[in-house]
């Protein structure tokens, strides 16, 4: 038996097998990462829907499920980078805003000040300001609150000490859960197998090329 031919046969088939395994598990990794991303989006949408409905108990449960899923899975996500404004790859949920929770927390503080003002001057300057700013803005935002407080201030007597309204910090309602690049899930397992197979393929390929060059030099000294 020709040992050289046997080695060549083994290397040739090892190259083919490792390449096919690498390609198959690369595709499987892509499908698994896509499934992780879709599941994360579903859970995040549930949180946003419960936030809109004011269902705090369900929102809290969904947030726990989202955090648990993201921490145990590799979850790719394209989001806008706040620093550059360009899309870039994040691992995790990216930043999302509990807008309605912020609005409810802010309005609870505003209503308390509203009751104090109305009790002292007998006029609901807050309701008047709210009507004006509702016409200027389609959604709740910090710009809306700036408009609102400015309009209230214009409607109060000059000598009236307006109650101090300290709104919640909006950053507390911006959430982001990060995932690791590698986790104990199918996507990471497929990725590791694909990387190992590519390493085996290129190692075998380089070895074959080196042996081929050495053989030619021996035959043609």
pTM over 0.75: no
CA–CA distance from 52 to each of 40, 46, 47, 206 (Å)? 19, 10, 9, 58
188 lies in the same domain as 210: yes
Residues 80 and 135 in one domain: no
Residue ranges making up the domain that contains 52 = 3-95+176-219
Q: Does residue 11 sit in the same domain as residue 83?
A: yes
Same domain, 17 and 70: yes
Domain count, the chain: 2
On whether the CB atoms of residues 102 and 170 are closer than 8 A, the answer is yes
Q: 76 and 37 in contact (C-beta within 8 Å)? A: yes
Residues 83 and 112 in one domain: no
Instruction: For residue 90, list its beta bridge partners.
Output: 77
Statement to judge: residues 156 and 104 lie in one domain: yes
- The residue ranges of DSSP E strands in 32-105, in sequence order, are 76-80, 87-91, 96-97
Per-residue pLDDT tens digits of the chain, which is 221 residues long: 445 555 555 666 777 888 888 889 889 988 999 999 999 999 999 999 999 998 899 999 999 999 999 988 989 887 766 667 677 788 888 888 898 898 888 888 877 777 776 666 655 677 777 788 888 887 666 677 778 778 877 877 766 666 677 778 888 899 999 888 788 888 888 888 888 888 888 887 777 777 666 666 666 65
Query: Quick one: 190 and 91 in the same domain?
Result: yes
Domain identity same for 77 and 63? yes
- Same domain? 89 vs 186: yes
One domain, residues 125 and 154: yes
Please indicate, yes or no, whether residues 58 and 153 belong to a single structural domain of this protein.
no
């Amino acid at each position: 038996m020709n040992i050289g031919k046997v080695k060549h046969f083994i290397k040739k088939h090892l190259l083919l097998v490792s390449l096919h395994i690498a390609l198959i598990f690369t595709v499987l990794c892509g499908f698994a990462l896509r499934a992780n991303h879709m599941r994360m989006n579903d859970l995040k949408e549930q949180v946003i829907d419960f936030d809109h409905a004011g269902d705090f108990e369900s929102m809290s449960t969904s947030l726990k499920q989202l955090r648990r899923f993201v921490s145990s899975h590799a979850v790719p996500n394209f989001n806008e980078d706040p620093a550059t404004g360009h899309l870039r790859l994040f691992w995790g949920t990216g930043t999302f805003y509990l807008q309605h929770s912020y609005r409810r927390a802010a309005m609870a503080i505003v209503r308390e000040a509203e009751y104090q003002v109305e009790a002292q001057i007998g006029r609901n300057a807050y309701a008047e300001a709210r009507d004006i700013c509702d016409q200027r803005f389609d959604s709740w935002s910090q710009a809306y609150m700036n408009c609102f407080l400015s309009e209230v201030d214009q409607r109060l007597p000059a000598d009236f000490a307006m109650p101090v309204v300290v709104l919640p910090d909006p950053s507390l309602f911006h959430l982001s859960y990060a995932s690791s690049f590698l986790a104990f899930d199918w996507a990471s397992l497929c990725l590791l197998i694909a990387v190992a197979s590519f390493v085996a393929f290129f190692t075998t390929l380089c070895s074959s090329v080196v042996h081929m060059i050495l053989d030619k030099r021996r035959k043609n000294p």
